[in-house]
A and B are shown apart, each in its own frame.
Chain A
C-alpha cells in the first residue's frame, strides 16, 4: 500500500479488451457479438465472474469490446477473455490472436479514438458515437459503471463532439451510391417532388434507389430487360415498373436517371436527350451511369442542364472525399492526445491520501470555527476547563476521522472501489470545492441517443 505507487496504479486502472474489424474477420466478430438486449445481463455476469470494479460492453458490427476498470489489469485481461469464451461459447483459440488489450493511457486513447470515429472502418462515420452512448446507457442500467467509467465515457463523448466541431472528418461521402445521392442534393433542392428512373435493376442501382427513397424521393420508376425483375424490385422499393419496350416516354419525367444495364453501345442518342430537355422546359436532369460498359454517351454531359456522372467520375469524387478525411483525421488525433492528458490528470488526482488529509483539515477548520464562536464564553472559564474542552473537541474529531479512514481503508487503498468510496467521502465531508465531476443526466443522454439516430449519414 505504498502511496508512491498509488497514482501509477490509478492511471492504469482503465482497460479495454476486444476485437475489431482490423484484427478479426466477421466470422469471429459475429460469434462474440451481443445483441442489444443481452448486454445488461452479460455485464452483470461479467462483473460477478471477474470481480472487476466497473465494466461496459460495446458490441457493434465492427467491434466487440469490454471497457473496464480494475486494480490489476493483467489478471483482468485473462479473466475477461476467459469470460467471453465461456459466455459466448467460443473456444479461446478462435479469437485470442485477434484480441487487443490496452490499459492506462493506451486504453483512454483507444476509447477516445473509437468515440471520435477514428478507429472506424469508414473514418468519420457518425453511427459509432450513438453506439458508444448506447453502451454507456446499458452499463448504467446494469449498474456496472462507477466514477471512473462514468467520467471516461463522458469525456469520450466530449472529445467526439469537439472533433466533429473542429474538423471536417464527418463531411464528404464515401461509397459510389452515397456520392451519387450527395450530388443529387447539389443539383436538386428537395427530392420530395422528383422522379428517379432506374434503367436496369443492378445491385448498385438498387442501393442508390434505396438511398433516394430514404431521402424522400417522390416516385421511382423501374425498367429492366426482364420485366419480372423490375416488378419485383418496384414492389420491394415502392416504385412503379415500366416495360422495357416502352420506357422512352417516361424519360421526360425522370429528374434522375440511373443506368445499370448491360449494353454493347450507349442507350440514348444526343438529339433524343436534347429533345427531352426541351420538353422538360430545361429542368435539370441528373444521369448516373453505373454500367460497365457505360450506358450513356459521355457527351450527353454537354447538353444544357444535363449532369452526367459515370462510375469513374463517382469513384473519383469518393476518393477525393476520403483523402480529405485522412487529413482531417490527423487534426482529430491531435485533439485526442490533448484530451488524454486532461483525463489522466483527473484520474491521478483521484487519490485517497489527499482525501484523508483534506477531510482532516476540513474538520479541524470546523472545530476551530466552533471554538472561535464560543470564545467569549471560553474566556470566562478556568484554564484547566478550557484545556478540557479543547481535548474534548479534538477527541471528537479524531473519533469521527478514524471511522472515515477505517471505511476508506477497508478497501485496497488504490483500488477503484476505494476511489469510489473516497469520492463519496469527499462529497459528504468536504465543503464543495468543485472537484466532483459534473453528473451526466441520463435523460440528456437519452435525448442524445434519439438525436444521433436521426443524423444517419448514407454510408
Chain B
C-alpha cells in the first residue's frame, strides 16, 4: 500500500491535462490542482501500511456502516473507486454477454486493489458520445468524450461505462483506460480558490476535487481491459452499479450537510444574539425539520439495505432517490434561511489577512464581536464557512452538481416513482375502497 508521497510520484506519468487554457505538466505542483492532489494524498497517508477499506465490498449491515464512514472521511475519489469494486461483484451479469467480460472486470478490480489505485467513473457522454471506432484482434479503439468525470486529473484509471441504453451497438462500450493513455486528453476544472491567500475559503481550500471533460481521441484499449463491446442489452445497468457508492455517499453527505447548516444557523443566531426572536426560531425550526428528514431518509436507506446478487450489501435505492429528491428540493430554501439569520457579513466579511494586518486587525476584532464570549475572530470564521459553502465558487459547484447528479430533480423524482414498491400501495388503496379483487 502506497503513501501520499508515492501517490504523488505516480501522478507524474505524462498525463495530458489542461486547465485554464494551459497544459499542466505536473498536477502535483500546479497551484490549483495540487489542492486536490493533497486531499487524495492525505487519505493515502491515513491508511498507509494497510489495505484502504474502500476496496472491501460490504457483506453485512455492520460492514456497510463502516464502508460509509470510510467514504465520508476519505476524499471524493474513494466512492468511485469503491464503485469499481461494486461493479466487479456484478461481473456475473456481464458474463451473460461474454464469459470473458466478467473475469476481466474481476482481474481489473483486483489489480486496482493490489496496486492501491484510484478510479474515476466516466459515464456522462458529451455531445460526441464515446463509441468503438475500430475493433482489432488485440483490443478496441474508442473515440468521443465523457464529461463531469469527477477526480479524473488526480486518479490512475478511468472506468468508462455507457451512460444508458442506446440503439447504437458501438456506443455500448465499457472499459478501463489509464489516465496517461496516448490519445486521452483531460480538460480540467476546479473549485480550488484562486486567491493567493485562501484562508478565508475554509472548505474549498482543502476539499476541492478537480473534474474534467475527458476526450478519447482514438484511444487503444487492450482486450483484457474491455468489459463490454457492443452488447447494448447490458449497457443500461452498468452505470447504476458503478455509481452505487457515489449515490449513497451523496445521500449520507446530504444528511451531514443538513446538520452542518443547522449548526451554522444556530451558532450564528447565538452569536448575533437573536436566538429568542420569533421569526428566527421559525427559520431554525424549518431547517431542523429538513435536517431530521434528511437524516431519517438516510437511516431508512441503511435500515432497508439490500443484498445484491453478487452478495454486496448496499443502501436501498428507493429511499436514496426519495431522500435525495426531498433534500435537494429544499436546499436553496434552507440556504436562503441561513443567509437570512446570518446577515450580510456572509458576503462582506473581511479576510484573515485583514485580521493579521495591524492597521485593521484590532478594528475587526472590536466590531465583529458581539458580546462577552463571542470573539470577532470566531464570528469571522463562521461567516467564511457559510460563504464558502453556500455563496461562492465552491458553493455554486457543490449545489449544482448535487442537484443534477443522475439527471436532475425531475429524474430523481421519476427514479423514486420507478423504484417505489407499488403493489402494496395499490393493495392498500383497493382494500380501503372496499374493492374485492
Same complex origin of A and B: no
Chain B positions near chain A (C-beta within 8 angstroms): none
